[in-house]
Structure 1
């Protein structure tokens, strides 16, 4: 297959000449291996038992092989991490090592953090801009910098197209399959998480059905900050004996370790007048198609407003999944701009903003996500409230839509279809 460059490739172009070791982290199937292989001179795949045994027998191999040395699924033999760290201490020449991992190390495994030696980059499924459906006309990075850019552009994509993208997945190896095969691959991916990935990465799964039910309930809470009690109740309706708090905490910890859960933390601005902000994270799975498969909805269900929902979020299940699709893309663009992503909600729910992209204290873009073609005054009221509160710290305000045109409202809020937003 012909490799298509990812947004992360530009970051690697910038960093590899000056950094000795970079670790690509993310869920299985997001494309870490394909990206790393474009740059590697030597490859060690530790999910291959023979290659792992070879490295276990002689770790010095990775130091003497032609660089860049790519070590795939390094977490399957954690001593590799410390060996790379020590090799960087001895020689910090740029472009020596690339590591890729689809899980953090198991709890209790002792490794050095790698701070100052190994830089970690998160890789997510394909953002909307990377899917090649439209040419972006609005740059998130430019909005973050506060640079004056004309908001314009037109796309032919419709609500039905966005719905299709939610179901197609952002996993490169899955999205282009015929629908029946794609569904089977997504089901297989979920089964493998429970039956293989979690056990291989340190979790004893005593009740697979209960874990699967909890994961489906978490998916139904997409784009909300529903309590974990509400998620558990939805996963165990009518059951008097529910999993223990410790068991649920284990689900969350291990599913986060393998990057399947990808929540967005609450944003609390530093040295700002805002008070009584919630600190609860918003729930997201790594890919929208996984949430759809877990909850059993199809295209017709979504377009007719059907689907399970837990917690307060968008008006429809399709709206929640569209917010998830937008959030996943925005996080890719924010990473490229060296920015972080959070969400804002006051404890009395008087004000709520879907996404806050921020870098430092003076670069902030506030974003609402709406399943509609344009934005009215009601859609932008929270964005304008935040601008009134924080002034110039808000470099721009943005509403992401499913509409046809990108434009700027008279009050200064940018309105941009998801297809026209890029890094």
Structure 2
């Protein structure tokens, strides 16, 4: 099958009606390079289906009877035709080491296993990192492209190569963006109404707080309070003290409150519930202090909307929250696209902020030193401000003669709705609606 220019060859276990995902090309590539691939991500994001799509056999470790047998002999989980999918492997952490040993014993065979997981097991339960044998892929919920909402037209990799042509954007307004945020990228909700999606996302949160959190040693009520605090502070680098006070943890001891927040944040990351966006240590020569504390986003923007009890109508009447959740959607989309870019790495996606108040919502930093900056704006009326911010950032970096690459490959203002994607002639900054962006 050809999907976004990539010829994909699937396995015999491909589920009927499977909708191709952008990450499929990367799964296929890594299966050809490593003995196994681990596909990680939040619950319900589609990692199991994507894994089965490449599989020839599978085993499910969330089945209690199967899990009991595999705990007694982890090698049982490895039986099957390759690529063999081991779903929810973290239920029996010993499977990881068994797979690693089997890969070593195979004499370097590739594509033997696909391991899926929606949480990270305790580090002391796994004796080897799997380096060189098992590749890791972090999977997200579906992008607007994968959901059939966006049509694309502006290639991110093309921008890095200097290729761009202006074009007419699809008709897409703020109301449709609000719907897309509230429905989210859950594969089971493609085509759902925001009202139906609200019920499903609520069930997701219930399963996470009441089942997954206790498995990690957490208290559901505390997790809920902190998650609500994170929703109120989404897309910010809120301190541990701010989150503790906002969550009303009831801790009299400040150090204990910080430690509680840190423990739950780590737990949420292990469950792929939240994602951090680090600050960019930009090559600037300035007395202005850089902000490098990570901003936090949820695995899907619909989670924040659900926690805040906001449907599309409320979002449209609250421009501040709408703007933050639109930024969350943009970061969500760009995380997926960044993972597919040649030259990208684990820290490619960042943000810029300094004590002078200068910000850039997203910075791409590739492993060859090239970089690009993006500002996110809801409407066309804010585009000039975004362009001015980007020009100031480029000027600050160019002012440092020791910078490894003073000129950005490109700068872009990403909007919720614009009639055209275009290049601003005076500044050279691209203005692109989110629905026009593609890898």
Structure 2 length-normalised TM: 0.88
Q: Which residue number corresponds to residue 312 of structure 1?
A: none
Note the C-alpha offset of 1:298: 1.9
Q: Which residue number corresponds to residue 371 of structure 1?
A: 378
Note the C-alpha offset of 1:142: 1.9
Paired residue secondary structure (2:209): helix
Distance 2:202 2:363 in 1: 32
Q: Deviations over 1:3-39 (max 9, x none)?
A: 1111101112322223221100110011000101111
Alignment map for 1:29-108 (pairs within 5 Å): 29-91=44-106, 92-106=108-122, 108=124
Q: Which moved more, 1:240-249 or 1:191-200?
A: 240-249
Distance 1:262 1:210 in 2: 19
Note the C-alpha offset of 1:104: 0.8
Q: Which residue number corresponds to residue 344 of structure 1?
A: 352
Note the C-alpha offset of 1:72: 0.8
Note the C-alpha offset of 1:369: 0.4
Distance 2:225 2:198 in 1: 19
CA contact under 8 A between 1:75 and 1:103: conserved in structure 2? yes
Distance 1:351 1:237 in 2: 33
CA contact under 8 A between 2:420 and 2:432: conserved in structure 1? yes
Q: Tell me if 1:382 matches 2:389.
A: yes
Paired residue secondary structure (2:372): strand
Distance 2:406 2:388 in 1: 17
Distance 1:376 1:219 in 2: 26
Change (3 A) 1:382 1:105: same
Paired residue secondary structure (1:263): strand
Count matched residues: 408
Question: Which of 409, 420, 425 is the matching residue for 1:395?
Answer: 409
Q: Which moved more, 1:237-246 or 1:106-115?
A: 237-246
CA contact under 8 A between 1:267 and 1:279: conserved in structure 2? yes
Note the C-alpha offset of 1:370: 0.3
CA contact under 8 A between 1:374 and 1:415: conserved in structure 2? no
Distance 1:40 1:6 in 2: 15
Note the C-alpha offset of 1:377: 3.1
- CA RMSD in angstroms comes to 2.1
Structure 1 length-normalised TM: 0.91
Q: Tell me if 1:245 matches 2:253.
A: no
Q: Which moved more, 1:111-120 or 1:50-59?
A: 50-59
Question: Which of 273, 280, 293 is the matching residue for 1:260?
Answer: 273
CA contact under 8 A between 1:139 and 1:422: conserved in structure 2? yes
Paired residue secondary structure (1:406): strand
Question: Which of 335, 340, 363 is the matching residue for 1:331?
Answer: 335
Note the C-alpha offset of 1:194: 1.2
Question: Which of 10, 20, 25 is the matching residue for 1:10?
Answer: 25
CA contact under 8 A between 1:41 and 1:67: conserved in structure 2? yes
Change (3 A) 1:72 1:238: closer
Paired residue secondary structure (1:199): helix
Between 1 and 2, higher relative CO (CA 8 Å, sep ≥ 6) is seen in: 1
Distance 1:60 1:25 in 2: 21
CA contact under 8 A between 2:41 and 2:118: conserved in structure 1? yes
CA contact under 8 A between 1:125 and 1:170: conserved in structure 2? yes
Q: Tell me if 1:354 matches 2:361.
A: yes
Question: Which of 316, 335, 339 is the matching residue for 1:303?
Answer: 316
CA contact under 8 A between 2:279 and 2:350: conserved in structure 1? yes
Paired residue secondary structure (2:393): helix
Q: Which residue number corresponds to residue 136 of structure 1?
A: 152
Distance 2:29 2:126 in 1: 31
Q: Tell me if 1:289 matches 2:305.
A: no
Distance 1:115 1:241 in 2: 41
Which sections of structure 1, spanning at least 5 residues, go unmatched? 306-314
Paired residue secondary structure (1:163): helix
Distance 2:76 2:353 in 1: 51
Distance 1:238 1:115 in 2: 42
Q: Deviations over 1:111-150 (max 9, x none)?
A: 311111111010011112212113101111222x332322
Q: Which residue number corresponds to residue 13 of structure 2?
A: none
Q: Which moved more, 1:89-98 or 1:106-115?
A: 106-115
Distance 2:169 2:218 in 1: 51
Note the C-alpha offset of 1:273: 3.4
Alignment map for 1:185-204 (pairs within 5 Å): 185-200=200-215, 202-204=216-218
Q: Which residue number corresponds to residue 310 of structure 1?
A: none
Note the C-alpha offset of 1:64: 4.6
